[in-house]
Amino acid sequence: MIDLDGVKVTPRDQQVLELLVQGCSNKEIALQLRISPRTVKQHLRTLFLRAGIRDGRKRVKLATAAFGREEMKSCCPAND
């Protein structure tokens, strides 16, 4: 299990992680947050480094630990 007590998570990082745990790609996250995919990648990279994660496959564990979510939502909001 990943311990996030000592990891700094900004409000924007939380938004990125929430969308990641919902199954969104970097491009989908960027579209929803109105930032570039490169910025999304940088948020995730910084979070992984802060959490000591060197293996990219652990990113979902990081997001899950951050939110403690058991139920996943759809990535894309419903079209009205």
**Per residue in 16-75, pLDDT tens?**
988 988 889 999 999 999 999 999 999 988 988 888 877 766 666 666 666 664 455 667
Domains of the chain: 11-67 (1.10.10.10)
What are 35-43's contacts with CB under 8 Å, separation 24+? 40/16, 43/12, 43/13, 43/16
Q: Helix crossing, 11-21 with 59-67: angle to 10°? A: 110
Verdict on whether the full-model pTM lies above 0.85: no
